[in-house]
Amino acid sequence: MPKSVRDILLMKNSKKITVITAYDYTMSQLCDKAGVDMLLVGDSAGMVMLGYDNTIPVTMDQMCLFTEAVARGRQNALVIADMPFMSYQSSKSQAIENAGKLIKSGADAVKLEGGVEIKDTIHAIVEIGIPVMGHIGFQPQTTTLQEGYRIQAKTKDAAVRLIESAKALEEAGVFSIALEMVTKEVSKIISSSIRIPTIGIGSGPDCDGQVLVVHDVLGLYEKIKPKFAKRYLELSLDIVKAVESYKNDVVSGKFPGIEHSFFMDKSELERLKKELV
Ligand code: KIV
């Protein structure tokens, strides 16, 4: 049985929550097997899977496809799907319709970027029974448009605004909040002043859980290497080495070998030879 939102809520103050992104069936299966609590079908898929420079071009159709694949691969983890840029900003009905599409694709919950300014939209989605994760601090869909990659809540005023947003989201009914690139001090204050779990990315150790992009964890994405992302492997080097070896084996005739080949029955081969002479 996959974990429920209630299971995640109960982890606050008892056990750290582990979240990792996944975008396809195979990675979903592997990360689920590793025991993560939640799989995030992040719109970072636009960058690491589709090669866009940022998450802005990502569409609902693309997110639904990634979500279907991840949902098929998991057994235990709760699956959250990101609502892409402009899939929820126009109206509450647009937001509800698109949240519903992600749930029909297999997600257990959706994630929206934004603070106090989208609390009514979030409330409308939660009201119809769809669990929502909030996402404040650095918001990749819009912060880059305004100020580029920047640490959030460095000043007193920015910190107060962020704390207010976290409280507004809790009131709107989110079951957890992702805090991206928020100063350690402010993450700690937010985590201790709300009853729902905070999931940090680049926001220090005091959050209730952590989320990372799987391509960063495995060392698969070379274009951006955020300081906050711990790379547990440099898999891209091994992949290039393996594919080079494959290429060299093909060119030299070493691959495929006898062990990779299929054979006719001897008697059928004899009959064929006779027919061909
Ligand atoms: O899309 C994503 O991967 C995310 C994480 C950065 C939290 O939203």
Q: What's the average model confidence in pLDDT over 94-121?
A: 98
Question: Do the beta carbons of residue 179 and residue 208 sit within 8 Å?
Answer: no
**pLDDT of residue 221 exceeding 90:** yes
Prior bond to 256 cis, omega within 30?
yes
Taken in order of first residue, the domains within the chain and their CATH numbers are 5-233 (3.20.20.60), 238-276 (no CATH)
Phi and psi at residue 145, to the nearest 5°: -65, -35
End-to-end CA distance of the chain: 63
Ligand 1 mean position, distance from CA 227 (Å):
15
Ligand 1 pocket: which residues have CB below 6 Å? Answer: 21, 40, 42-44, 82, 178, 180, 201, 211, 213
* pTM, full prediction: 0.96
Ligand 1 mean position, distance from CA 43 (Å):
6
Q: What's the average model confidence in pLDDT over 45-57?
A: 97
Q: What pLDDT is stored for residue 149 in this prediction? A: 80
Q: What pLDDT is stored for residue 91 in this prediction? A: 98
Q: Treating both helix axes as pointing N-terminal to C-terminal, what angle do 119-127 and 156-172 enclose, rounded to 10 degrees? A: 20
Q: What pLDDT is stored for residue 147 in this prediction? A: 77
